[in-house]
Structure 1
Amino acid sequence: MVSGRENAGLPVDEALPSLKDALRDGCGAVLVAPPGAGKTTRVPLALLEETWAVGKRILMLEPRRLAARSAARYMAASLGEPVGQTVGYRVRMDTRVGSKTRIEVITEGVLTRMLQEDPELSGVAAVLFDEFHERSLHADLGLALCLQAQELLRDDLRLVVMSATLEAEPVAALMGEAPVVVSAGRAYPVETRYLPKRPEGRLEDRTAAAVVTALRENQGDILVFLPGAGEIRRTEERLSAQLAGGAAGPVRVLPLHGTLPQEAQDLALAPAQPGTRKVVLATSIAETSLTVDGVRVVVDAGLSRVPRFSPRTGMTRLDTVPVSVASADQRRGRAGRQGPGVCYRLWPEQDQGQLPARTTPEILEADLAPLCLDLAAWGAAPEELRWLDAPPAAALAQARALLQRLGALGADGTVTPHGRAMAGLGLHPRLAHMALKARELGLQGLGCELAALLGERDVLRAAEGAAPNADLRLRVEALRNAGGEAHSLGLRADPAALARVRAEASWWARELGGAQADTGRRPAASPAAGSSEGSPVADSPAGSAAAGSPTLATAPLPALSSSGADLAYCGLLLAFAYPDRIGQQRSRGRYLLSNGRGAVMAADQHLAGIPYLVAAELDDQGADSRIYLAAPVELAHLETYLHEGLEEEEAVEWEDAAQAVRAKKRLRLGSLILKEKQLQNPPAPLVTRALLAAVAKDGLEALPWTKASRQLLQRLRFMQLADPSWPDVAEETLLAALPDWLGPYAEGMRSKQDLTRVNLGEALTGLLDWSRRQELDRHAPTHLQVPSGSRIPVDYSDPGQPFIAVRLQELFGLTETPRIGGGRVPVVIHLLSPAQRPVQVTRDLAGFWRETYFDVKKDLKGRYPKHYWPDNPLEAIPTNRVRPKPQG
Structure 2
Amino acid sequence: MDLPIDAILPDLRSAVTRHGRAVLQAPPGAGKTTRVPLALLEEVEGRIVMLEPRRLAARAAAERMAATLGEKVGETVGYAIRGERVVSDATRIEVVTEGILTRRIQSDPGLGGIGCVIFDEFHERSLNADLGLALVWEVRQALREDLAVIVMSATLDAAPVAALLDDAPMITSEGRSHPVTPRWLDRPLPKGTRFEVAIARLITEAIMTEESGVLAFLPGEGEIRRVMGQLDLPGVEIRPLYGAMPFAEQRRAIRPADGRKLVLATAIAETSLTIEDVRIVVDGGRARRARFDPGSGMTRLVTERVSRAEAAQRAGRAGRVAPGTAWKLWTKGEEGALPAFPPAEIEVADLTALALELALWGDPDGSGLPFLTPPPPSGLAEAQALLAGLGALEDGRITDHGRALARMPLHPRLGHMLAKAGPAATDLAALLSERDLLRDRGADLTLRLRALRNPAEFAVARGAVERVRSEAKRLRRHAGPTQDLSPAQMAALAYPDRVGLRRPGDAPRWLLSGGKGAQMAEGDALAGQRLLVVTDTDGHPRDATIRQAIAISEGELRAVLGDRMGWVEICEWSRRDRRVVTRRQERLGAIALDDRTWPDAPPDRVARAMLDGVRELGLRPSDAARRFLARVALLELFDTSEEALLAEAEDWLLPFLDGVRTASDWTNFDILPALRARLDYAAQTRLDQEVPGHLETPLGRRVPIDYSSEAPEVAVRVQELFGMTRHPTVAGRPLRLSLLSPAGRPVQFTQDLPGFWAGSYADVAKDMRARYPKHPWPDDPTEADPTLRAKRRKG
Q: Tell me whether the two structures share a fold, i.e. TM-score over 0.5.
A: yes
- Please, which of 193, 199, 210 is the counterpart of residue 218 of structure 1? 210
Change (3 A) 1:694 1:153: same
Return the letter of the residue paired with 1:100.
Answer: A
Contact 2:631/2:693, CA 8 A, preserved across alignment: no
1:309 counterpart = 2:292: yes
User: C-alpha distance in 1, partners of 2:298/2:579?
Assistant: 39
Alignment partner of 1:402 is 2:386:
yes
2:686 and 2:108 mapped to 1: Cα distance? Answer: 83
Aligned mates of 1:69, 1:572 — CA distance in 2:
38
Change (3 A) 1:457 1:771: closer
The 8 Å contact of residues 3 and 177 in structure 2, kept in 1 or not, is answered as no
Are 1:32 and 2:10 matched, yes or no? no
> In structure 2, what residue type is equivalent to 1:175?
L
Q: Residue 550 of structure 2: which of 624, 631, 637 is its match?
A: 631
Partner of 1:835: 743
For residue 537 of structure 1, what is the aligned residue in structure 2? none
- How far apart are 1:815 and its partner, in Å? 3.0
Aligned to 1:191: 181
Please point out which of 436, 439, 455 is paired with 1:458: 436
Q: Match for residue 333 of structure 2?
A: 350
Which amino acid in the other structure matches residue 677 of structure 1? Answer: R
Counterpart of 1:317 in 2: which secondary structure? strand
- 1:288-331: CA deviations, max 9, x gaps? 21000111111111111111122222221111111111211121
Q: How far apart, in 1, do the equivalents of 2:508 and 2:586 lie? A: 24
Aligned equivalent of 1:339, options 322, 326, 338: 322
Q: Which runs of 5+ in 2 are unaligned?
A: none
2:3 to 10, 13, 21: 10
Superimposed CA distance per residue, residues 413-434 of structure 1 (whole angstroms, 9 cap, x where no aligned partner): 2211111111100211222122
- Residue 826 of structure 1: CA displacement? 3.4
Q: Is 1:612 aligned to 2:590, yes or no?
A: no
1:344 to 1:795, Cα distance in 2 relative to 1, 3 A: same
2-structure distance, mates of 1:357, 1:125 = 34
Name structure 1 gaps, 5 residues minimum: 1-7, 463-467, 514-543, 546-555, 559-565
Q: State the partner residue of 1:208.
A: 200
Q: Cα 1:872–1:580, aligned 2, differ >3 Å: closer, same or farther?
A: same
Alignment-mate amino acid for residue 37 of structure 1: A
Report the Cα offset of residue 280 of structure 1: 0.6
* AA at the equivalent of 1:512: H
Equivalent residues of 1:715, 1:780 under 8 A apart:
no
Which of 144, 148, 161 pairs up with 1:154? Answer: 144
Q: Does the aligned pair in 2 maintain the 1:302–1:347 contact within 8 Å?
A: yes
1:482-521 matched pairs, under 5 angstroms: 482=455, 484=457, 487=458, 493-509=460-476, 511-513=477-479
Counterpart in the other structure of 2:368: 384
Shift of 1:776: 6.1
The one-letter code matched in structure 2 to 1:272 is A
| Stretch of structure 1 that moved more, 200-209 or 314-323 | 200-209
Equivalent residues of 1:335, 1:343 under 8 A apart: yes
Residues 1:49 and 2:15 aligned together: no
- In structure 2, distance between residues paired with 1:739 and 1:238: 68
The structure-2 alpha-carbon separation of the partners of 1:673 and 1:815, relative to structure 1 and needing over 3 Å to count, comes to same
Equivalent residue number for residue 114 of structure 2 = 124
Q: Please report how far the alpha carbon of residue 389 of structure 1 lies from its aligned counterpart in structure 2 after TM superposition.
A: 1.7
After superposition, the C-alpha distances for 1:5-36 in whole angstroms (9 at most, x for unaligned) are: xxx23222222222222222221112222222
Equivalent pairs counted in the alignment come to 789
Whether contact under 8 Å (2:697, 2:703) holds in the other structure is: no
- Tell me which moved more, 727-736 or 596-605: 727-736
Q: Does 1:723 align with 2:707?
A: no
Greater Cα offset, 740-749 or 469-478: 740-749
Distance of 1:657 and 1:212 partners within structure 2 = 59
Structure 1 match to 2:53: 63
Q: Which residue of 1 aligns with 2:697?
A: 786
Hey, what's the Cα distance between the residues in 1 that align with 2:329 and 2:663? 68
Corresponding residue for 1:143? 133
Match of 2:163 among 149, 169, 173: 173
Quick check: 1:23 aligned with 2:16? yes
CA distance in 2, matches of 1:860, 1:611: 79
CA gap 1:389/1:778 in 2 versus in 1, 3 angstroms: closer
2:721 corresponding residue in structure 1: 811
Following TM superposition, by how much is the alpha carbon of 1:750 offset from its aligned partner in structure 2, in angstroms?
A: 6.8
User: What is residue 254 of structure 1 aligned with on the other side?
Assistant: 239
| Distance in 2, Cα, partners of 1:264 & 1:369 | 32
Take 1:620 and 1:237, find their aligned partners in 2: how far apart are those partners? 28
Whether the 8 Å contact between 1:715 and 1:799 is mirrored in structure 2 is: no
User: Is the partner of 1:435 in helix, strand or coil?
Assistant: helix
1:227 aligns to what SS in structure 2?
A: coil
Asked if the contact 1:794/1:802 (under 8 Å) is kept, the reply is: no
Contact 2:23 2:158 in 1 (8 A): yes
Query: Which whole-Å CA distance do the structure 2 matches of 1:630 and 1:479 have between them?
Result: 16
Residue 784 of structure 1 and its aligned partner are, at CA, apart by 3.9
Q: Shift in Å at residue 160 of structure 1?
A: 1.2
Matching of residue 869 in structure 1 with residue 766 in structure 2: no
* CA distance in 2: counterparts of 1:872 and 1:635, whole angstroms: 91
* Counterpart secondary structure, 1:165: coil
| Shift in CA distance, 636/847, structure 1 to aligned 2, threshold 3 Å | farther
User: Following the alignment from structure 2 to structure 1, what is the Cα–Cα distance between the partners of residues 642 and 437?
Assistant: 62
Query: What's the secondary structure of 1:620's corresponding residue?
Result: coil
Aligned to 1:583: 500
Q: CA deviation at 1:92?
A: 0.5
Is 1:236 the counterpart of 2:234? The answer is: no
Q: Does 1:89 align with 2:79?
A: yes
Shift of 1:722: 4.2
Cα separation, 2, equivalents of 1:807 and 1:882: 13
Structure 2 contact 703–716 (Cα < 8 Å) conserved: no
Contact between 1:461 and 1:494, CA under 8 Å: does it hold in 2? no
Distance of 2:667 and 2:298 partners within structure 1: 49
> Against the structure 1 CA distance between its residues 743 and 357, is the aligned structure 2 distance closer, same or farther, given a 3 Å change threshold?
closer
Secondary structure of the structure 2 residue equivalent to 1:291: coil
Residue 350 of structure 1 deviates from its aligned partner by 0.9
- How far apart, CA to CA, are the structure 2 residues paired with 1:128 and 1:730? 65
Look up the SS of the partner of 1:254 in the other structure.
strand
Question: Superposed, which structure 2 residues align to 1:282-321 within 5 Å?
Answer: 282-321=265-304
Distance 2:537 2:279 in 1: 40
CA distance, structure 2, for counterparts of residue 131 and residue 366 of structure 1:
19
Residues 160-201 of structure 1, C-alpha deviations (whole Å, 9 max, x = no match): 111222322222221122222222344322222111122242
Whole-angstrom CA distance in 2 between matches of 1:269 and 1:124: 31
Letter in 2 for 1:476: L
User: Which SS does the other structure have where 1:607 is aligned?
Assistant: coil
Q: 1:806 to 1:168 in 2, by over 3 A?
A: closer
The amino acid that maps onto 1:882 is: A
- CA displacement 1:235-268 (0-9 Å, x = unmatched): 11222xx12xx3xxx2100011111111111111
- Is 1:650 the counterpart of 2:556 in the alignment? no
Residue identity opposite 1:9 in structure 2: D
Residue 474, structure 1, aligned to residue 447, structure 2: yes
Superposed CA RMSD in Å reads: 3.0
- Indicate conservation of the 8 Å contact 2:296/2:541, yes or no: no
Q: Aligned partners of 1:657, 1:189: CA distance in 2, in Å?
A: 67
**SS of residue paired to 2:228:** helix
SS of the residue 1:306 aligns to = strand
Letter of the 1:237 counterpart: G
Query: Distance in 2 between the 1:142 and 1:658 partners?
Result: 54
Alpha carbons 2:635, 2:687 under 8 Å: kept = no
- Residue 883 of structure 1 pairs with residue 791 of structure 2: yes
